[in-house]
Structures are given as C-alpha cells and as structure tokens.
Amino acid sequence: MSRDPSRDPSQGQLEDQPEDQSGDPHDPPPGGVLEADQVLGIAAHEIKNALGPLTMTLQLCERRAASGDTVPLEDLKFARGQVRRIAQLVGDLLDTARIDTGRLALRLAPVDLCALVQETVETFRRGHAQRIVCDLPPTPLMYTADAERLASVLSNFLDNAAKYTPERAAIQVRMSLAGDRVRIAVKDQGPGVRPEDRERIFERYYRSPSLAELAGGLGLGLFICRAIAKGHGGSVGVESTPGQGATFWLDLCLGQS
C-alpha cells in the first residue's frame, strides 16, 4: 500500500510544500453565492494545495527512478489525479469566461449518445471506486452535438454523485426516450438537495450551504453544464427528496439535432 510521500519520514527530507491549512479573513462562508474575488481566492488556494503534494510525489518518483528503484503505480495515479484536479479548476474558470463573452464554441458532429454515455462511464470507472449501473437503449441513438462538451456534463454529474454516494452503494445512469426528447439521468444515494437549492445550484458561484463543506468547489460546474445544455437546445435539472439522494438530468430534443 503506497503512503502519502509527504508523510513518509523514511524517504528523507523533501522540499517543503505543505498543504496550506491556514485560515484567511477573506474566506467565504461554507455556502451561498460567492463573489468573483472570493472565487479567484478559492481557485488559487485549491491549485496551491494540489501542487504541493504533486511536487513532493514527483520528487520522490524522481529519486526512486534515479536510484534504480521501481516507481509505485499508486504514486503515478496520485500525481495524475492532482493534475486532473488542477486542469478541472482551470478549465472551469476558462469556460466561465467564454460563457460571459458568448464564446463557448460547440464543435457539432453526429454522435451516438448511447456510445457517448457508455464511454464516459467507462472512463469514469477507472478512477473511482463506486459501482455504476447503466440502463441504456439497445440501439444507437444519433444526435448532432459536441461530444466532448456533452461528455463533460455527464462527467460532472458522475463526479457529484461519487462525492455523495456511500462507497458500497451504486450510482445509476439511465437514458430514456419520451417522444422527440431524450433524457440522460444520473442518480446518487447521497443526502439529496433541499427544495430551496434545486434551482440555485445551477447559478454561477452558488454552493448549497448544506453541501458545501462536503464537496467544496467553486460553484461553477453545474453553471457550465447548464450553458452547454442550452447551447444544444436542451436543459438540465435535478429531482430530489432530502435524505433519499438526487437525480441530475440532461434533456435534449432530437428534433433540434
């Protein structure tokens, strides 16, 4: 079992890159709408906290490789996860800027939605322990869309579900058809979303006070999901009963494909 290299005294002294645990008088409250300067402060804090362990892990891998030792796969997976964490933060900030200027471009092409959902789920499974159960139509469902952007919406739903679903519980992914509309839904087994938060969680910089301490983040992911859905002529939403999980959905109109 690989240990956190920042806490392994047997590996010698590494450059001092501790995770910043200090408080800040400008830190935002755990929930509600964040101001723009607070978002930048949180983003900088998150990136700094990801870079510290990443730097130490890479230093340790370097030393092991230089001495002819095997570099543990767990350390490489950890480093990749930290890079993914930083890339997501930067990507969210860039996408928000593009939305503000109306430049969130969509590269449209024919897409099999069933295959897109299956591939996105398979990619997600590689980095998460939760079991994911899929219920998809048996035949291809073609739609003209930006496959990468739609996959990012589903990945966001899955990431949120993984944060709140207990380890032994399953996340459910379902695609259903109703007339000319298709719905892609992700159901978690978490605490659910309060009625007063169901519309607001799709607002820019909004973090639910009841969930912010569990998930953190910048309050941008679902805002970006809504913009991507609108760009495709679709919509996003959530259905939830507190204490019984939540179902986040993406609706697309096949007639507008």
Residues 87-117 have pLDDT tens digits of 767 776 777 777 776 777 788 899 999 999 9
Q: Which CATH number fits domain 109-256: 3.30.565.10, 2.60.40.10, 3.50.50.100, 3.40.1080.10?
A: 3.30.565.10
Q: Which of 9-18, 98-107, 206-215, 218-227 has the lowest mean pLDDT?
A: 9-18
Mean pLDDT for the chain?
78
pLDDT at residue 137 tops 70: yes
- CB 27 within 8 Å of CB 39: no
In angstroms, how far is CA 49 from the centroid of its own chain? 17
Tens of pLDDT along 2-24? Answer: 444 443 433 433 444 444 444 44
Tokens standing for residue 193: 């979303």
Q: Is 144 helix (H, G, I), strand (E, B) or coil?
A: strand
The domains of the chain are located at 5-100, 109-256
Instruction: Burial-class residue 168 by CB neighbours within 10 Å (0-12, 13-18, 19+).
Output: exposed
Number of Cβ atoms within 10 Å of the Cβ of 152: 19
Residue with more model confidence, 103 or 146: 146
- Look at residue 37 in the predicted model and tell me its pLDDT: 54
Number of Cβ atoms within 10 Å of the Cβ of 130: 19
H-helix segments, the chain: 36-66, 73-100, 113-125, 147-164, 212-215, 221-231
The DSSP call for residue 130 is S
Q: Give the global pTM.
A: 0.67
Number of Cβ atoms within 10 Å of the Cβ of 217: 19
- Look at residue 1 in the predicted model and tell me its pLDDT: 43
- CB 85 within 8 Å of CB 50: yes
